[in-house]
Amino acid sequence: MIGRTVGQYRITAKLGSGGMGEVFLAEDTRLERKAAVKFLPAELAADSERRQRFLREARAASSLNHPHVCVVYDVGETDEGLPFLAMEFVEGESLDQVVKQGPLEILRIVEIAVQVVDALDAAHGRRIVHRDIKPGNISRLPTDNADDFDTTDDFQKTKSGYVVGTPSYMSPEQALGRDVDHRSDLYSVGVVLYELSTGRKPFTGSNIGEIVDRIVHAQ
Residues annotated as part of the active site = 132
The edge-to-edge listing of strands for the beta sheet with 93-94 is 93-94, 138-140, 149-151
- The 8 Å CB, 24+ separation contacts for 6-9 are 6/37, 6/76, 6/78, 6/84, 7/74, 7/76, 7/84, 7/86, 8/74, 9/35, 9/37, 9/74, 9/86
Helices (H), the chain: 42-45, 48-62, 95-99, 106-124, 172-175, 182-198, 208-217
Q: Are 107 and 55 in contact (CB under 8 A)?
A: no
